[in-house]
Amino acid sequence: MSLATEAADQPTLYKRIRADIEKRILTGEWPPGHRIPFEHELVARYRCSRMTVNKALSELAQADLIERRRRAGSFVRRPQHHSAVLKIADMRAEITALGRAYGYELIHRKLRTATAADRDRLGVKKAGKVVAITCRHSADNVPFAVEDRLIDLSSVPDAATADFSREPPGSWLLHHVPWTEAEHTISATVADDRAAEALDIAVGAPCLVIDRYTWRGARTITAVRLLYPGDSHRLVARFKGG
């Protein structure tokens, strides 16, 4: 390829390089911490100049998909916790940290075309497919929380074949899919018949609700509602003055 030809194709080529790398990251093929091929390897793979590769990597870094380390190379960025009140914790690790035995049960899993309610909850307009999951987490064989989750398959296609009967969806996502932004909403409710049965509490008992959303750039990854028995769960935040 001549320099003149590459110069003409460069805008399209660097976008293709960026899209190829972004797809590997978003699908979880390259998980958090994975080293991106060195620049000279990408130059050889795409038969282009180092400047073209550098432009693609620079845009990926600006989008918080990768981090570039001098002399070490580029790596898929690990999730950053943006909330001072809550971090996105692995439920298994959270319960284990309390010195209690963790238990998990998949109650329901369905792969389906997103309904209007699904799209509204995920904040997406285009029709697509989702995985809808309901599961229960327990501590010392006592219900700890019920999880109701939607995963957008356009952002996380590998979730369609993940075995959520063995691995909790939250744990799977944390280990396979990097995110750049998260939002928590905390509220209270009372248990209806379904929640009371799942949590082994009385109908009308108080419950703590955490609604969580995560995104990778402009793409929604997942929306999850966690329901906890109100008399056995509390949120604690500790701050230091600046």
Quote the tokens at residue 185. 């909403």
Gap between the Cα atoms of 234 and 223, Å rounded: 21
Residues of the chain with pLDDT under 50: 1-8, 80-85, 242
Instruction: Please name the amino acid found at residue 220.
Output: T
Give all domains of the chain, ordered by start, each with its CATH number.
Answer: 3-76 (1.10.10.10), 91-232 (3.40.1410.10)
DSSP secondary-structure letter at 231? G
Quote the tokens at residue 105. 């049960």
Quote the tokens at residue 39. 């620049």
pLDDT of residue 196: 93
pLDDT of residue 235: 65
Gap between the Cα atoms of 216 and 50, Å rounded: 27
Which residues contact residue 3 at a Cβ distance below 8 angstroms, ignoring those fewer than 6 apart? 49
Gap between the Cα atoms of 114 and 162, Å rounded: 18
pLDDT of residue 86: 52
pLDDT of residue 65: 85
DSSP secondary-structure letter at 65? S
Write out pLDDT tens, residues 146-172. Answer: 999 999 999 999 999 999 999 999 999
Comparing CA positions, the residue from 104, 87, 172, 88 lying closest to residue 139 is: 104
Write out pLDDT tens, residues 207-242. Answer: 999 999 999 888 899 999 999 998 777 666 555 554
pLDDT of residue 82: 37
> Could you tell me if residue 90 is left (phi over 0), alpha (psi between -120 and 50 degrees) or otherwise beta?
beta
Looking up tokens 């899919």, which residue turns up? 177
